């Protein structure tokens, strides 16, 4: 009987824990006044609550500048709580690097503050935000409770902006999506690359243009940074993450083009012939399969158009 009561108590405790969801966000310092919160190298799942993304913040004299707000209202709230563990200064500004849901669905927790993004990112969130939100509910469930879309309320003008003693270079690029914001803090040498750079995790391509993306990576390579924070994966102090992202995208593009030109049907390509170092990237199979859906139709349309057809109507 006593053991039954014990089990019942444990079950109840388990239930309560399940209701109080906790992302266990731990800010890691990567430079003076600069912190990142590293997400899991995984796909969205109930187990990770959608925390597959890196967010970051800079503690300036004028207050805290946050880069990306995470996948849910709850993440946004817990991000603010994690910042409060580090500093008493209030958050003064949030930058959103691009339109994907793991980067902006925490905006609700920052409502009322300036939330800045590139113009096309604002448009994209207005257009697609609710669809993303619904889809994340489906993938991670109750972690999303009470989350709704809050679109950025300020447009980023590319160029230099000084906030509380930090000179931030706001760089407008594209390739991962139609508008990707990179932020180089010239004061600390930290580059927040957003999802233009992945490290140790396979890049995602639902709104990608691979040629533009490669050009953006070349541009990033030329920047003078000490530490780079990729959108997904561990921060690095060299170009290694840029090179890895570039070599995956280059393999992807060449492989799919070659297959399209030789007449392969899309679903014949589910077991791709990829180099070992790329296969070892986290969630390679899942992301490659998604990319096949994103990229193959255009490549095969081009390959078909290259063979002419005479029409008799």
Partner 1 sequence: MSYRICSLLLLLLATPLGLVAAEAPADPLNSVMWHEMHQRLLDGAPVVFDERVQVSAPAVAEDSLNLPLWIDATALGEVERLLVFAELNPIPKVLDMQPLKAAPRIGLRIKVQQATPVRAAALTPDGVWHLGGVLVDAAGGGCTAPSIGSGSSDWADRLGEVTARLWSREHHSRLRASIVHPMDTGLVAGIPAFYLEQLEIRESGGDLISRLSLFEPIAENPVLTLDLPKLKQLTMDGRDNNGNPVAAQISLESQTGGGGQ
Tell me which residues touch partner 1 (CB under 8 A).
Answer: 135, 138, 206, 261-263, 265-268, 270, 286, 289-290, 292-294, 296-297, 300-313
Q: How far is the CB of 105 from partner 1 (least distance, A)?
A: 17
Q: For the CB of residue 8, give the shortest distance to partner 1 in the complex, in Å.
A: 34
Q: Which is nearer to partner 1, 120 or 257 (CB)?
A: 257
The CA dihedral of 115, 119, 120, 126, to the nearest 10 degrees, is 50
Residue count of the chain, please give it. Answer: 313
Tell me the closest approach of the beta carbon of residue 302 to partner 1, in angstroms: 8
- CB-based contacts of 279: which residues, under 8 Å, 6+ apart? none
Q: How far is the CB of 176 from partner 1 (least distance, A)?
A: 17
- Nearer to partner 1 (CB atom), residue 3 or residue 262: 262
Residue 300 is encoded by which pair of tokens?
A: 């095969």
Bridge partners of 166, per DSSP, are 163
- Using N-to-C axis directions, what is the helix angle for 210-221 and 240-261, rounded to 10°? 160
First to last CA, the chain: 83
Q: Which is nearer to partner 1, 202 or 244 (CB)?
A: 202
| CB nearer to partner 1: pick between 34 and 291 | 291
Largest Cα separation within the chain, whole Å, is 84
In the complex, minimum distance from the CB of residue 50 to partner 1, in angstroms, rounded to a whole number: 15
202 with 245: CB under 8 angstroms? no
Closer by beta carbon to partner 1, 55 or else 204? 204
């Amino acid at each position: 009987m006593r053991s039954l009561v014990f089990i019942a108590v444990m079950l109840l405790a388990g239930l309560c824990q399940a209701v109080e969801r906790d992302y266990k966000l731990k800010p890691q310092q990567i430079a003076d006044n600069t912190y990142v919160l590293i997400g899991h190298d995984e796909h969205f799942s109930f187990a990770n609550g959608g925390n597959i993304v890196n967010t970051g913040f800079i503690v300036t004299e004028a207050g805290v500048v946050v880069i990306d707000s995470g996948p849910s209202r709850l993440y946004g709230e817990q991000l603010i709580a994690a910042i409060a563990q580090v500093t008493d200064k209030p958050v003064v500004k949030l930058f959103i690097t691009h339109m994907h849901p793991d980067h902006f669905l925490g905006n609700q927790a920052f409502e009322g503050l300036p939330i800045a993004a590139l113009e096309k990112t604002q448009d994209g969130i207005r257009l697609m935000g609710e669809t993303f939100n619904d889809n994340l509910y489906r993938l991670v469930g109750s972690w999303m409770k009470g989350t709704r879309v809050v679109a950025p309320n300020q447009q980023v003008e590319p160029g230099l902006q000084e906030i509380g003693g930090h000179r931030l270079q706001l760089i407008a690029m594209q390739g991962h999506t139609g508008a990707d914001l990179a932020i180089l803090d010239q004061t600390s040498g930290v580059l927040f690359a957003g999802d233009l750079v992945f490290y140790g995790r396979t890049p995602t391509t639902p709104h990608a243009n691979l040629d533009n993306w490669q050009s953006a990576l070349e541009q990033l390579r030329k920047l003078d940074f000490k530490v780079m924070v990729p959108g997904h994966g561990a921060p690095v102090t060299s170009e290694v993450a840029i090179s890895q992202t570039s070599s995956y995208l280059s393999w992807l593009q060449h492989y799919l083009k070659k297959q399209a030109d030789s007449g392969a049907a899309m679903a014949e390509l589910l077991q791709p012939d990829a180099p070992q170092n790329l296969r070892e990237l986290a969630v390679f199979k899942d992301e490659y399969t998604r990319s096949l859906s994103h990229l193959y139709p255009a490549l095969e349309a081009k390959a078909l158009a290259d063979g002419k057809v005479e029409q008799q109507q």
